[in-house]
Chains A and B, each alone.
Chain A
Amino acid sequence: MERGLYIAAAGMVAEMVRQDQISNDLANAATPGYKSDQSQQRSFNDLLLQNTKTGETIGKLGQGPLITKTVTDLDPDALKPTQEPLDLAIEGQGYFGVQTSAGVRFTRDGSFQANAQGYLTDQQGNTVLGSDRKPVKINADGTVDTAKVGNFALTGVKKQGDSYFTGTAAGKGTGEIRSGYLESSNVEAGKVMVDMMASLRAFEAGQKAIQTIDGTLQQAAGQVGNLPA
């Protein structure tokens, strides 16, 4: 059948994936330390069309787009004052280390709290690691020494969810840890809303293309074969 139909449909599907990603960014517009995603699209490999009878090459035809990669914007964002002594933020590069049941994970979200043993934990109750990779004790007055909290430089950073990143810790992060601040989400509302509209329009264009091809097919089926009686 008409290849164009499938190409246009592939374009629509790719836009839906992109919308899901945009929704996730918007849902996390207020998540401290959240890093926004960007989808990268590329076209499928081109097909070489040949005339089936003569074997003569006709030319290339694309097969529509495919989302191949998500790029996470890891740039540090502005710090927002909260006045809470257990809210920590890294000004500059680096990640907090957290001991989870699945191993050490990293985060930029410093909404921390105290646990019953008096150690610093993240919002899920996992202990925050000090620079010596041991849990950090909270002072008697309810504050925490930022110098004791670990700041790790990471390579191979990948999002995991629950504000965690995976990666390999390689030395100390260059950023400075501040108490009483949280890092804002780096979702730029304006840009994301525009992306969302652009994606919607691209989707609409795909729909129009399908309708047009369908229209031509209808003519082919209905009018070309319509012999006068």
Chain B
Amino acid sequence: MYTAAAGMAAQQTRIDAVSNDLANVDTTGYKSARLAFRDLVYDSAQGYGAAKAVEIGAGSAATSIGRSSAQGDLQQTGRSLDVALNGPGFIQVKLADGRTGMTRDGNLQVSPDGRLRLSSGQLVDPQITIPQGADDAAIAIKADGTVSYQGRSLGQLKLVDVPAESGLQGGPDNTFVATKASGAIRAANRSTILTQGTLEGSNVDESQAMTDMIEAQRAFQMASKAITTQDQMLEMANQVKK
């Protein structure tokens, strides 16, 4: 019975993860959760009417192994300060508390004092200052992150990455912070480029998520059926003497 209950708990985790993915199907730069399942420890059933060689498992468990690295769909916005990352990596930003953050949300803006920042207010790191009175539409951002205005270079968006994205900790507003588990921030692979005038959509594949949901639901149902059956057996055992 506990075995089946563990299986139900694992499937419940999966349903929760898929629900969260589906809720973020329209979130810019959202990466779907990756879950892994494993069976649990096996123990000898000796003494319970079985020989020593018979081992019974204790069900299954779910582990989160980070987020999918798959590229989200690129959505054309035409806005010159929208940039999408094509390939693995992040744009480096400075969080309000001074820590270095990373984001894939390339919906950039110019702050009132002329600095380039995320829509949530985090400044890009290193800082880039846009000249007073500059026309946003005339700002050019190249594939390597170089920001220029009327042919004059203003700075470069730093593209960074970590060895283990699954170890990243979520920071405020769509940003991530490196941890010991993720490894130190390093320059992103050169194949990663920025595309101006586009935003990266969520990488949640709706039909895949729905299929996953159905599969999880059925697995949950089967495990619950196992519990009902075992309960029926215990009831019968209790009725041996009617």
Contact = CB atoms under 8 A, between A and B. Distances in A.
B42 A161 contact: yes
Interface residues of A, number: 64
The A contact surface, by secondary structure, is: mixed
A13 B54 CA distance: 14
A207 B55 CA distance: 25
Nearest to A118: B163
Interface stretch (B73-81, B90-98, B109-117, B213-221): B213-221
A159 interface: yes
A187 B212 CA distance: 17
B182 A124 contact: no
Nearest to B235: A207
Most-contacted residue by chain A among B69, B216, B222, B237 (CB, 10 A): B222
A212 to B, nearest CB: 11
A27 interface: yes
A13 B6 CA distance: 22
Contacts of A142: 69, 88, 165, 189
A23 B51 contact: no
B40 A162 contact: yes
Contacts of B103: none
A99 B68 CA distance: 24
Interface stretch (B7-15, B22-30, B134-142): B7-15
Interface string A3-23: 000000010111111011111
Contacts of B40: 161-162
24 contacts: A17-B49, A17-B54, A26-B225, A27-B6, A27-B59, A30-B219, A67-B50, A68-B51, A69-B51, A69-B54, A70-B53, A83-B68, A86-B69, A109-B37, A111-B36, A113-B34, A116-B180, A142-B88, A160-B42, A161-B39, A162-B41, A193-B225, A200-B229, A214-B241
Given A24-B57, A114-B165, A140-B189, A14 B225 contact: no
A85 to B, nearest CB: 7
A27 B7 contact: yes
A83 B70 contact: yes
How many of chain B's residues touch chain A, expressed as a range? Answer: 35 or more
Most-contacted residue by chain A among B4, B38, B237 (CB, 10 A): B38
The B contact surface, by secondary structure, is: mixed
Contact of A66 (B1, B34, B51, B59): B51
A29 B215 CA distance: 9
B234 to A, nearest CB: 9
Contact of B166 (A19, A109, A114): A114
A172 B140 CA distance: 54
Contacts of A152: none
Given A16-B233, A31-B38, A66-B49, 10 more contacts: A13-B49, A14-B50, A21-B56, A26-B219, A27-B3, A28-B60, A30-B14, A83-B70, A118-B183, A207-B239
Nearest to B234: A16
